[in-house]
Amino acid sequence: MSGPPAEILRARVVHVRHHPFRHRLDYRIWALLLDLDRLDDAAAASRLFAHDGAGLVSFHAIDHGPRDGSSLRAWADGVLATADIARPARIRILAMPRVLGYVFNPITLYLCEDESGEPSAVIYQVKNTFGDQHPYVARLSGGMSHRHAARKTMHVSPFIGMAARYGFTLAVSGQRIGLVIDEHEDGARVLTASLAGRREPMTDRGLLRALAAMPFVTIKAMAAIHVHALRLWLKGARYHARPAPPAPAPTIAR
């Protein structure tokens, strides 16, 4: 399979609340882009990265997919099949790894390619801080930029209701990955969440630079969520109680 088994994405995350008042969250992260069929190759090439084992930086199947430690490739293939999307030649997962054993990913991307290397599908696995998760899946058709939309299926922010809809804009190139999610409620755009980053090969030197710049990147993401939730509450944002978790069947974006 062409391309490296692992890359680092140095990225900026921005959330802008548009309605009923303006609020902004802006911070930097780093994440890994991993070939699901070559995880052991990535671990073998690094002294700092481990696959399903102890390491300064590690990736564990139990943190993703069905969260039971089973094959993530098989899980992703099954999600795609429910949307009548053929098994891709390659799936790369974009997620923050465990750092010193801790991880939380608000969203994980499964980027799928066909035999020619063209984008064929994407799975967005969304998690909330209550422990729920839900996949949204979309078919892609060539090119570097893709737009699709879906109804909101899982409770994420306690300050946005379940009647909202998502609009996704995904852009993937050899150097960069970008994702913008616009959330609309009652016809008004209430939130824009974006991630934009530059890719580089995953080397031990690159991992050390990432760790030196942001040694607690996963804790940082969780802390930012709670700090800004408190700030929204203090501004008077309306609270929405958590509903029952959604069924495991994926939501299809079109």
Cα–Cα distance measured from residue 190 to residue 20, given in angstroms and rounded to the nearest whole number: 7
Cα–Cα distance measured from residue 97 to residue 99, given in angstroms and rounded to the nearest whole number: 6
Token pair belonging to 26: 């802006």
Token pair belonging to 49: 């990265």
Amino acid 21: pLDDT: 87
pLDDT digits (tens, 9 = 90+) for 184-228: 998 899 999 999 999 999 999 999 999 999 999 999 889 988 998
Average pLDDT over residues 243-253: 93
Sequence-distant contacts of 248-252: CB under 8 A, at least 24 apart: 248/134, 249/82, 250/79, 250/82, 250/83, 250/123, 250/134, 250/135, 250/136, 250/137, 251/134, 251/135, 251/136, 251/137, 251/150, 251/151, 251/153, 252/82, 252/83, 252/136, 252/137, 252/138, 252/150
Average pLDDT, the chain: 95
pLDDT digits (tens, 9 = 90+) for 95-141: 999 998 999 999 999 999 999 999 999 999 999 999 999 999 999 98
Amino acid 1: pLDDT: 52
Amino acid 186: pLDDT: 87
0.85 surpassed by pTM: yes
Average pLDDT over residues 85-101: 96
Share of the chain above pLDDT 70, in %: 99
Q: Are 229 and 213 in contact (CB under 8 A)?
A: no
